[in-house]
Amino acid sequence: MTSNFSPPAGAKSRFKVKRLADGRAALNLGCGTRMHWSWNNLDSSPYIWLAHHPTIAAMLNKVGVISGERYQRLQKVDPEAVRWHLAKGIPFADNTFDVVYHAHLLEHLEREAAPAFLQECLRVLKKKGIIRIVVPDLEILTNRYHESLNLLKQSQDETAAARHAQAIDDLFEQMVRGETAGARQQRKLVRVIENLVRGDAAKTGELHRWMYDAYSLTRLLTAVGFKDIRAQNAFSSQIAGWTSFNLDTNADGSVNKPESLYLEGVK
């Protein structure tokens, strides 16, 4: 997603709004394949299109265009998930949701586009609704780099060198990669087809365009109009029943992406 973000004027709900058992409406933006089926899940990913066309997906899996691993991942996709590109704004009316959540999405926007996107999040939230944002934590990543550098200065062994190389990779690789990570893992023919059809990492929106720490993201949320901004972790939240949704945690109780920063704010 790039800086051509253009939220709609006077937007109305284009899609049915699902509700949790307790009546709340919760929205997961840029969900990928990580979602809870009681939420309103929205993404532009091909997985969403394939979930809407299971016969085609099964055929592509049978002939080897969709790998077994990808097909298994597809089974986790909410068949009611909305396929939508967020560069067009959020396709729901004002004051619709009690919760808006997005994880490892904001860093894919150009820095200049982030305020408009967050204003859209604010618009669709009800008064006192909660936004929960998860991004790679720049503080964690830079601390890892400094720790690895100090270790390398003390010892030039292979373990220290590998740790240092990984720390640099974690900071920069997703800012500069050419081919998408998913395409790299496919067999040659599928890889060629995917690169032709979907394009490179920049075209698919896979590149990181900016990075945040707790201070810079808090300032951004405050400037947009959110209040009561609090740091959380993968398990803690002002959102009732948070851990039951397994969005930042896995079914076995582990954290999905430990290098993350978690912030929540209130409208």
Identify the structural domains of the chain with CATH numbers, from first to last.
1-44+84-137+212-267 (3.40.50.150)
The arrangement of strands across the sheet holding 26-29 comes to 82-83, 40-43, 26-29, 97-103, 125-136, 260-266, 227-232
Q: What confidence category does residue 188 fall into, taking pLDDT thresholds of 50, 70 and 90?
A: confident
Upper half-sphere CA count for residue 30 (Cβ side, 13 Å): 22
Q: Tell me the per-residue pLDDT of 118-133, one tens digit each, with 9 for 90 and over.
A: 999 999 999 999 999 9
Upper half-sphere CA count for residue 232 (Cβ side, 13 Å): 21
**Other beta carbons less than 10 A from residue 61's beta carbon:** 17
pLDDT at position 79: 93
Residues 7-12, mean pLDDT to the nearest whole number: 58
Q: Any idea which residue has 């590109």 for tokens?
A: 85
Centroid of chain to Cα 112: 18
pLDDT at position 2: 44
Residue 261 in tokens: 């920063």
**CA Rg, the chain, in Å?**
19
Q: What confidence category does residue 205 fall into, taking pLDDT thresholds of 50, 70 and 90?
A: confident
The more confidently predicted of residues 12 and 147 is: 147
pLDDT at position 193: 72
What is the spatial distance between Cα 54 and Cα 57, in angstroms, rounded to a whole number? Answer: 5
Q: Tell me the per-residue pLDDT of 41-83, one tens digit each, with 9 for 90 and over.
A: 999 998 899 999 999 989 988 988 888 888 888 899 999 999 9
pLDDT at position 69: 85
Mean pLDDT score across all residues of the chain: 91
Single out the residue of 14, 15, 17 nearest to residue 38, CA to CA: 17
Q: What is the pTM of this model?
A: 0.91
Centroid of chain to Cα 267: 21
Q: How far apart are the first and last CA of the chain?
A: 24
Q: What confidence category does residue 3 fall into, taking pLDDT thresholds of 50, 70 and 90?
A: very low
Q: Any idea which residue has 């790299």 for tokens?
A: 184
Residue 208 contacts by C-beta under 8 Å, 6 or more apart in sequence? 107, 108, 136, 174, 175
